[in-house]
Amino acid sequence: MKSFAIIVLLILASIVLMGNELNLYFGNPHSHTSYSDGTGFPEEAYSFAKEVPDLDFLAVTDHAYYFAQKLPDGRDKLAATIEAAKEASSQLFAAFAGFEWTATGTGHINVYGTSDWTDRVKSDLWDLYDWVIERGAVGQFNHPVRDFGDNFKEFQYSPEADLCMNLIEVGNGNWWENDTIIDEMFSAYIDALGKGWHVGATLGQDNHKPNWGVANDSRTVVYATDLSEESILEAFMKRRTYATEDNNIKIHFSTEEAFMGDIVYDVDQAELRILIEDTAHDPLETVKIFSRDGLFAKFLVDSHELDLRIRANIETGFQYFFIYVRGSDGEEAVSSPIWFQRSNPVHLYNPSAYPESVKPGENLTLSFQISNLSSEEASSMIQITNLSGEIYSEAVILEKLESKIVNLQRTVEAQDGVISFFLDSVPYSSITLNIRSEDSLNVLLDRSHVNYASDRRGKFEAVLEGSGHKYSTADRIFKEGELNTIDVLIIPLPGAGGSFERLKMLMPQQVEMIKQFVLNGGTLIITGSGDEISSDVVATYNKLIEEMGISNRYEATITSEETELDGILFDGLSDLRGESIDHEYGQGRVFLFPGDPFTDDVVDHNSELIYRLFR
């Protein structure tokens, strides 16, 4: 990252800016009426919006699953909305219609530029992509937050769908507070771009009340040739957009040969040209340039204008840059990217490794997606390297618009700290792994049995990772083989919460897995609880202890208070019958504690114990 402080305006008037032949229009591409779950009729929405200052266009995008019921006069609701839009449009205002496809668990998508519609009953996500492609329409990922689903199958990339899914909301909302660009949507924007999607930034008010355009100052801004539905949709398709909470900020982002939303091929360097202008009483505060690699540059601005040129080296086969602006009043704006790609249509996206914290000899999975963006067969050579050199290569041939996820199994080496991915010797991306020492420990805490205090172990995790160990949690019942790479398994006795007692019990299959884990050399730690626990539940843990030949038994809870025994401070205490807490079983060891010594409330006191157990 580069950081700059801009005190004076940089004037470079001699440079001709790309996109100067286009006009700037502010509008709202996402709103609703009573044709779905909103208020009023499309005619009212368009009539109202035409009178709103600083609003040049409005799209009414009612939920399509309401369209199955026709209007009282027999008309289709989308057809009626299109008719109302045509009547409302003028040289000074563009009214147009779309619809919102909504699927619980997946997400919501706006579709523009069609005379018919589909809904979640008729189409799933993949069907919708095909439907939009067939019609040459424009798609927009709406409000990408987890409240609405899995963000379109985690933004799983499709080269063919990428041709029609041209937009994504980085902000959404019709509340009076103007904070519509939120971190979760901004992060989803970055996620979609990293997965390979060529999407432009938008912001919709998503009005469900009769406040079309006046709910706040949030707008989508487009660069278009004129103020008509045809030109606005062309701008959507070409991603000539930016999202803003400020209804009059002007953002111009270009290079020597491209404008925001464009794709540039086979260049090694680009001059990013940024021109931002707001009103004199509304100064800028921060301007950031983001790339595929994260924050590329940051500028502190003491002016309502910024005219900037900055050189960027294009060092990978797939790169992009976009602009983020924050005013002194806190209002934000986000531009669409400019992409820089190699002309070979085969590209590699979203490389990852699981797990990322490993030690030599362990296994991990390298995963990435490779896609052919052309309508013809294409080939490429995949190369993967570590710090010592090439570790994998393969020539691939992909059918037209084919995309596939590749998973490679690898046994970790000490040189795997940086794994780099290439196509035809062109670098694409690198991932960094935490290669731990061979004597470090993999510590797993069981959270799958409603375990006591399982969410209050931040300090414990920090201590273990600070010592070079790996700490993870089991949030679901572990399955056969999942303990093979674990060195220490911690099982707190369950707490009083939860509605199903059966979930708290150790089932016979789990008992056998845990016994085998210890027999093979693992360390098992069971901690008592300060919560009441039923005799039926605790009996399943005592059965495990008994089958390992250990005479100790857990009985009723003694106290939920912090209690010190033999120099160890416990967070709550159970009645643990038996003298020793340290036992051998096979090649492994078992430690039974009457209470929990690892929660945030007591762990600082137990540093000597932690050192003995995890050295």
Q: What is residue 574's DSSP assignment?
A: E
Does residue 410 sit in the same domain as residue 464?
no
The domain that holds 590 is classified in CATH as 3.40.50.880
Query: Is 467 part of a structural domain of the chain?
Result: yes
Which of 436, 439, 438, 441 shows the shortest CA–CA distance to 610? 441
Quote the DSSP letter at residue 176. S
Task: Mark whether 77 and 101 lie in a shared domain.
Answer: yes
Q: How many residues are recorded in the chain?
A: 615
Is the confidence at residue 599, as pLDDT, over 70? yes
What integer pLDDT is reported at residue 615 of this predicted model?
86
369-411 pLDDT, tens digit per residue, is: 999 999 999 999 999 999 999 999 999 999 999 999 999 999 9
Same domain, 500 and 373: no
Instruction: Report how many domains make up the chain.
Output: 4
**pLDDT of amino acid 453:** 65
Residue 233's Cα: distance from chain center in Å? 27
Residues 193 and 47 reside in one and the same domain: yes
538 falls within a domain: yes
For residues 46 and 188, state if they share a domain: yes
For 422, phi then psi, to 5°, come to: -130, 150
Same-domain check for residues 213 and 274: no
- The reply to whether 245 falls in a domain is no
Stronger pLDDT, 497 or 10, i.e. the higher one: 497
Two tokens at 266?
């086979």
Domain span holding position 151: 23-239
Position 429 in a domain: yes
Tell me, yes or no, whether 580 and 458 share the same domain: yes
Q: Could you read off the pLDDT of 427-457 as tens digits, one per residue? A: 999 999 999 999 999 999 999 988 866 678 9
One domain for residues 338 and 352: no
Q: Give the span between the Cα atoms of 471 and 346, in whole angstroms.
A: 38
What does the pLDDT read at residue 506?
A: 95
- CATH number, domain containing residue 318: 2.60.40.1930
4 pLDDT more than 60 = no
Cα 256 from Cα 609, distance rounded (Å) = 63
pLDDT tier at 176, thresholds 50, 70, 90: low
A 10 A CB-CB count for 102 gives 19
Domain final residue pick, 389, 411, 435: 435
Query: Is there a domain that residue 131 lies in?
Result: yes
The residue among 212, 239, 266 that closes a domain is: 239
Q: Is residue 80 within 8 Å of residue 67, measured between CB atoms?
A: no
Same domain for 526 and 494, yes or no, is yes
Q: Can you read off the two tokens belonging to residue 384? A: 């993967």
| E strands present in 434-587 | 434-435, 442-446, 470-474, 488-492, 523-527, 553-565, 568-577, 582-585
Residue 48 is assigned to a structural domain of this protein: yes
In a domain, 85, yes or no: yes
Do 313 and 358 lie in one domain? The reply is no
Domain check: are 317 and 461 in the same one?
A: no
Q: Is residue 244 part of a domain?
A: no
The pLDDT of residue 498: 66
Q: Among 290, 311, 342, which residue terminates a domain?
A: 342
Residue 223 and residue 253: Cα distance in Å, rounded? 11
> What's 411's domain CATH number?
2.60.40.10
* Domain co-membership, 525 together with 377: no
Report the pLDDT value the prediction gives residue 10, as an integer from 0 to 100: 37
427: burial class by Cβ within 10 Å (0-12, 13-18, 19+)?
Answer: middle
